[in-house]
Amino acid sequence: MNTRANEEPDVRALIENWAKAIRAENLDGILVNHSSEILMFDLPGPTQLKGMDAYKNSWPPLFKWLHGSGAFDLSELSITSGDEVAFATSLIHCRGKEDNGDNAQLEVRLTIGLRKLGGRWTVTHEHHSEPSR
C-alpha cells in the first residue's frame, strides 16, 4: 500500500483547519498542531521567530488587521508528503484594515514544513513572504 498517498489528506486537513482558525481568530486552533520548537520566517517582522511563545505572540497584530473585514484564503495548495516528513506550498490572499481605517490587501507566499511526531503531523516550520512589487 502506498502510505504517501494516504498522508496527503491528513496534511491538507491540518492546513485548512489552521487557516479556518486564523479566520476565526482562534489562537488555540492555530497552535494545536505546531511544535513547541517552531521556526517561522514572517511578515512584517520580526523576520525570524523561534519557539511557541514567539509564534503565539505573532498572531494578535494580524487578528487586529483582519478583524471584522478580513480574508485569509488559501489557493494553489500543493502538498508533498512521505511517511515522516511533508511540506506544503500555497498562496494566501489577505484582506484587512490599516490603522487609519483604509482597506488593504496582501498576496503572500506560504511554505509549511511538517514532521510526523508521535504518530501525528506537526508543523515545525512556516515561511510567509511577500513577492517583490
Look at residue 70 and tell me whether its pLDDT is greater than 90: no
**73 occurs within a structural domain:** yes
**113 occurs within a structural domain:** yes
Residue 8 belongs to domain spanning: 3-120
Question: CA-CA distance, 113 to 121, in Å (whole number)?
Answer: 10
Confidence of residue 67 (pLDDT cuts 50, 70, 90): confident
pLDDT in tens, 91-126: 999 999 888 888 889 999 999 999 999 999 999 999
CATH number for the domain harbouring residue 90: 3.10.450.50
**Contact 22/109 with Cβ under 8 angstroms?**
no
Q: Does this model's pTM top 0.75?
A: yes
Res 133: pLDDT: 56
Q: How many domains does the chain have?
A: 1
**43 occurs within a structural domain:** yes
Lowest mean pLDDT among 13-22, 31-40, 90-99: 90-99
User: What single DSSP character describes residue 101?
Assistant: S
**88 occurs within a structural domain:** yes
Res 6: pLDDT: 81
Question: CA-CA distance, 7 to 3, in Å (whole number)?
Answer: 6
**107 occurs within a structural domain:** yes
